[in-house]
Amino acid sequence: MPYAACTAYFCITMPPEEHTFLTKKGTYRDLLAYRKSEILFDLTCNFCRRFVQKGDRTVDQMI
């Protein structure tokens, strides 16, 4: 039987281990936010290589 915590306003029932919110089989590389941020980082690196001088401080701040 799952653990239940009740108060005057609501009752929370903890789900069984197989139906949890976060799965154990995924990694951070599978997250959509990580994949999007990796694309943005690659685009920023390409932009800096193409349009900003090598010794410029802006490159350090962007990457």
pLDDT in tens, 8-40: 555 555 555 556 666 677 788 888 999 999 999
Q: Where are the domains of the chain?
A: 4-62
Phi and psi, residue 12, nearest 5°? -110, 125
Give the model's pLDDT for residue 50. 94
* Strand extents, DSSP E, 1-63: 4-6, 11-13
Contact 45, 63 (CB under 8 A): yes
Q: What is the pTM of this model?
A: 0.56
